[in-house]
């Protein structure tokens, strides 16, 4: 055995002994300050006996954590992720009680609630000690990161010298929001990459805005980015008449179907097919290595189907489990405090943030972030060619707190620290890496359609069809005007006439919302209805919608004129004339006409596509969902995400050109992978220091 290997073994033994000693000392301190935790019998023990009990207890707890905890985590994969935090504490406390029982002296005791506290503190202290010791040894540091991510390959082939590429998606972060965060000092890592705060060091990255499709949401954008095709994805949720099914992008069964369609349309498996990894995404991108990927969650579990294996990889270390569970609890408390403050201060606009939302937010901002970042770290150290990971924290908070709120800014700060950690780990990777950061869409601020007008889009559609609506909706001005329009269209002088001539239940519309984009479908008609058919059946519906102040424009199909855009005061512009006279689309800026025309060509476009109004001065839209930061349609910052790329890669587009559509972004990323495969990065001084 070589001297280097002996030194490595001795170093590992020394670190283990040190961690054991620190854990023993921690147990002694806790026994001294917690009344329900004892390391001695009732009649008292000598200091030596107490120390021996603590040493045996700490050692047994460490062994159980290393050997039994991974098995418990496998069982945790069978329970909902939102209850993971509570189970982590109880199971960790149970391990401590077992450790105290199996010590030879058999004198340690603790109450259940005290055991939970002691186990959490000891796990955290042991993790911190191990990390501090490993940082001083680069080889040990790399091994520790491997162990935390649990991504070491069974066979380790030679890692190519060509650069790998990491694509990190900051879900929902718009181009302007990113620039504002950099200017405010909230994202120092991004600022350093852009060279905005240091004129001496050259910038390493360039920032490029891009324009989304009409459906400005993660499902359409990520499908186009990862698979090169998002044809026939008109919204986040839509009704397909031929299947008689509502498709929802974040529903596992829908994600499977969408991924299969995209692969057929594109003719290739995806961006990550060559030794890639997909982490925390809706779709796989063709990656062989997948974790927390929604499109494989609906299939039966197998060695090829590891949708939740990322949780096991991360939580198999009990210290990770405790740290994340504590952060989870802190985030729940933070959300409750922030929502209470917003309610007491009568902050407007505001939406309800009660129920399970604090736990959903904590899962997105803590659990998902920690697991995905850990998985990416493991991929870097395994030398994978490409990695694509989605961090959803900002998007979740911005929906309920607002895109530029203080709550959302705090999330951006934490995301920047995640970028810094990934950059640091990349310096220890066996090959050089290029880090590309991008977003799938932005978010537009504004109050909800319901809060401004007192009724939902569904209420307005039903009123326009002459169908019964809730009493609260009938009392609103919009509801009354819609019902009056129906009476006038049907030439019925009294409201009771509507009830006698209303459509049968089979023809009631399906109304779905995707941010500020609404979709109206009539399921009893097997084809996409024309404007003429809709007018014949519901003569007041299209005028009611088009003239409503909260609606910007409608898209329908006309028998005579093809696709047409409808607006207020009888505006009706055929799609092929939008370039010359944009009409209702004028407020939505350049590119809106192309986006609408493309959506019109989809087989499953709704009978009526409804986009809310947009104020180009303040960028506000009206969400048809209960969100004060929304995306899904046209209008404002939601359609303007960003692409942050290393200057070592070619420019995304030529000067003066616009990067438009998720499919074009896919082609840019694919080109960069090809460039990386054919080139080598210059030496990185940080990597040389780490060697």
- Of residues 192 and 301, the one with the higher pLDDT is 192
Q: What is the pLDDT of residue 689?
A: 39
454 lies in the same domain as 428:
no
Q: How confident is the model at residue 492 (pLDDT cuts 50, 70, 90)?
A: very low
Mean pLDDT (the chain) is: 80
Q: Which residue, among 199, 186, 613, 565, has the nearest Cα to 405 in the 3D structure?
A: 186
188 lies in the same domain as 223:
yes
646 lies in the same domain as 617:
no
325 falls within a domain:
no
146 falls within a domain:
no
Distance of CA 280 to the CA centre of its chain: 7
Which of 84, 102, 136 finishes a domain? 136
Q: What is the pLDDT of residue 148?
A: 47
CA distance 295 to 612: 30
- Of residues 561 and 233, the one with the higher pLDDT is 233
pLDDT digits (tens, 9 = 90+) for 4-48: 556 556 656 666 666 656 666 666 666 666 666 666 654 555 566
Q: What is the pLDDT of residue 158?
A: 74
CA distance 619 to 180: 15
Long-range CB contact pairs, 476-479, < 8 A, 24+ = 477/453, 478/453, 478/454, 478/548, 478/550, 479/454, 479/455
126 lies in the same domain as 198:
no
Per-residue pLDDT at 151 exceeds 50: no
Which of 73, 101, 136 finishes a domain? 136
Omega prior to 61 cis, within 30 of 0 = no
Per-residue pLDDT at 103 exceeds 70: no
322 falls within a domain:
no
Per-residue pLDDT at 485 exceeds 60: no
500 lies in the same domain as 547:
yes
Q: How confident is the model at residue 467 (pLDDT cuts 50, 70, 90)?
A: confident
632 falls within a domain:
no
Neighbouring C-beta atoms of residue 14, cutoff 10 Å: 11
Cα–Cα distance list, 492 to 482, 497, 548, 658 (Å) = 14, 6, 22, 53
458 lies in the same domain as 588:
yes
244 falls within a domain:
no
Which of 102, 136, 170 finishes a domain? 136
pLDDT digits (tens, 9 = 90+) for 496-533: 333 333 444 547 899 999 999 999 999 999 999 999 99
> Where is average pLDDT lowest: 59-68, 200-209, 420-429, 483-492?
483-492
Q: How confident is the model at residue 296 (pLDDT cuts 50, 70, 90)?
A: confident
Neighbouring C-beta atoms of residue 454, cutoff 10 Å: 15
Burial of 102 (0-12, 13-18, 19+ CB in 10 A): middle
Please name the residues in contact with 137: beta carbons below 8 A apart, sequence gap of 6 or more.
11
**Which CATH number covers residue 372?**
3.40.720.10
Per-residue pLDDT at 161 exceeds 90: no
340 falls within a domain:
no
Mean pLDDT on 147-172: 73
Q: How confident is the model at residue 684 (pLDDT cuts 50, 70, 90)?
A: very low
Positive or negative, the CA dihedral 558, 563, 567, 569 is negative
Q: Find which of 157-161, 359-363, 412-416 is predicted with most confidence, using mean pLDDT.
A: 412-416
Q: How confident is the model at residue 144 (pLDDT cuts 50, 70, 90)?
A: low
411 falls within a domain:
yes
> Where is average pLDDT lowest: 279-293, 390-404, 548-562?
279-293
612 lies in the same domain as 661:
no
The whole domain housing 98 covers 3-136
Q: Which residue, among 360, 365, 353, has the nearest Cα to 394 in the 3D structure?
A: 365
543 lies in the same domain as 623:
yes
406 lies in the same domain as 464:
no
Burial of 246 (0-12, 13-18, 19+ CB in 10 A): middle
DSSP-assigned letter for residue 365: I
> Where is average pLDDT lowest: 101-115, 233-247, 250-264, 676-690?
676-690
- Of residues 79 and 180, the one with the higher pLDDT is 180
Decide if 271 contacts 225 (C-beta within 8 A): yes
What is the tally of structural domains in the chain?
3
437 falls within a domain:
yes
* Continuous H helices in 504-553: 531-537, 541-546
Per-residue pLDDT at 408 exceeds 50: yes
- Of residues 690 and 57, the one with the higher pLDDT is 57
- Of residues 489 and 591, the one with the higher pLDDT is 591
CA distance 512 to 638: 19
520 lies in the same domain as 607:
yes
Q: What is the pLDDT of residue 91?
A: 59
Per-residue pLDDT at 63 exceeds 70: no
Q: What is the pLDDT of residue 149?
A: 44
- Of residues 582 and 27, the one with the higher pLDDT is 582
Q: What is the pLDDT of residue 3?
A: 55
591 lies in the same domain as 458:
yes
pLDDT digits (tens, 9 = 90+) for 236-262: 999 999 999 999 999 999 999 999 999
465 lies in the same domain as 573:
yes
What pTM did the predictor assign?
0.80
> Where is average pLDDT lowest: 148-157, 223-232, 322-331, 448-457?
148-157
Q: What is the pLDDT of residue 291?
A: 82
Q: What percent of the chain has pLDDT over 90?
A: 53
CA distance 510 to 383: 48
Q: What is the pLDDT of residue 141?
A: 46
Per-residue pLDDT at 73 exceeds 60: no
Mean pLDDT on 129-136: 48
Token pair belonging to 466:
């002459």
Q: What percent of the chain has pLDDT over 70?
A: 65
Mean pLDDT on 291-320: 63
């Amino acid at each position: 055995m070589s001297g280097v290997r002996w030194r490595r073994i001795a170093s590992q033994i020394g670190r283990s002994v040190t961690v054991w000693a620190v854990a023993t000392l921690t147990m002694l301190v806790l026994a001294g300050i917690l009344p329900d935790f004892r390391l001695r019998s009732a009649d008292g023990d000598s200091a030596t006996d107490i120390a021996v009990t603590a040493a045996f207890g700490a050692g047994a707890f460490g062994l159980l954590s290393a050997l039994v905890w991974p098995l418990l985590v496998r069982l945790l994969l069978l329970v909902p992720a939102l209850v993971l935090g509570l189970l982590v504490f109880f199971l960790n406390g149970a391990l401590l009680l077992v450790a105290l029982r199996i010590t030879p002296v058999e004198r340690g005791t603790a109450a259940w609630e005290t055991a939970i506290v002691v186990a959490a503190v000891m796990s955290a202290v042991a993790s911190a000690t191990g990390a501090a010791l490993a940082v001083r040894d680069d080889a040990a540091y790399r091994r520790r990161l491997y162990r935390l991510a649990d991504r070491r390959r069974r066979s380790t082939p030679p890692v190519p010298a060509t650069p790998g590429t990491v694509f990190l998606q900051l879900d929902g972060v718009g181009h302007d929001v990113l620039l504002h965060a950099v200017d405010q000092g909230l994202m120092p890592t991004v600022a350093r990459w852009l060279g905005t705060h240091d004129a001496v060091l050259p910038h390493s990255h360039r920032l490029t805005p891009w324009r989304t499709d009409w459906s400005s949401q993660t499902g359409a954008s990520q499908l186009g980015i990862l698979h090169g095709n998002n044809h026939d994805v008109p919204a986040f949720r839509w009704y397909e008449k031929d299947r008689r099914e509502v498709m929802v992008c974040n529903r596992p069964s829908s994600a499977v179907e969408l991924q299969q369609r995209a692969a057929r349309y594109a003719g290739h498996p995806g961006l990550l097919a060559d030794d890639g990894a997909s982490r925390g995404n809706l779709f796989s991108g063709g990656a062989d290595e997948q974790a927390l990927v929604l499109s494989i969650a609906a299939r039966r579990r197998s060695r090829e189907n590891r949708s939740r294996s990322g949780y096991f990889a991360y939580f198999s270390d009990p210290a990770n489990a405790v740290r994340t569970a504590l952060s989870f609890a802190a985030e729940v408390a933070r959300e409750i405090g922030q929502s209470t403050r917003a309610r007491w201060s009568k902050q407007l606009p505001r939406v309800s943030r009660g129920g399970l939302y604090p736990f959903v937010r904590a899962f997105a901002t803590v659990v998902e972030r920690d697991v995905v970042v850990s998985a990416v770290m493991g991929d870097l150290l395994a030398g994978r060619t490409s990695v694509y990971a989605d961090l959803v924290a900002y998007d979740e908070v911005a929906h309920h707190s607002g895109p530029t709120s203080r709550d959302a800014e705090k999330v951006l700060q934490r995301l920047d620290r995640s970028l810094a950690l990934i950059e640091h780990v990349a310096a220890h990777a066996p090959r050089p890496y290029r880090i590309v950061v991008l977003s799938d869409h932005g978010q537009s601020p504004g109050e909800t359609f319901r809060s401004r007008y007192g009724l939902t889009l569904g209420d307005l559609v039903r009123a326009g069809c002459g169908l019964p609506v809730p009493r609260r909706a009938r009392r609103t001005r919009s509801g009354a005007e819609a019902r009056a329009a129906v009476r006038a269209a049907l030439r019925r002088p009294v409201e009771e006439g509507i009830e006698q001539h209303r459509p049968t239940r089979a023809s009631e519309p399906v109304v779905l919302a995707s941010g500020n984009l609404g979709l109206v479908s009539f399921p009893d008609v097997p084809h996409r209805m024309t404007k003429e058919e809709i007018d014949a059946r519901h003569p007041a519906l299209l005028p009611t919608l088009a003239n409503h102040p909260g609606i910007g424009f409608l898209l329908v199909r006309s028998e005579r004129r093809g696709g047409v855009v409808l607006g207020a005061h009888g505006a009706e512009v055929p799609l092929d004339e939008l370039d010359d006279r944009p009409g209702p689309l004028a407020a939505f800026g350049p590119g809106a006409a192309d986006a609408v025309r493309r959506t019109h060509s989809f087989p499953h476009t709704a009978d009526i596509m409804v986009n809310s109004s947009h104020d180009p001065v303040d960028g506000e839209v009206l969400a048809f969902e209960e969100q004060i930061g929304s995306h899904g349609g046209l209008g404002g910052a939601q359609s303007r995400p960003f692409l942050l790329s290393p200057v070592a890669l070619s420019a995304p587009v030529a000067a003066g050109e616009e990067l438009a559509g998720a499919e074009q972004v896919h082609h840019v990323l694919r080109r960069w992978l090809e460039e990386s495969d054919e080139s080598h990065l210059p030496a990185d001084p940080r990597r040389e220091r780490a060697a």
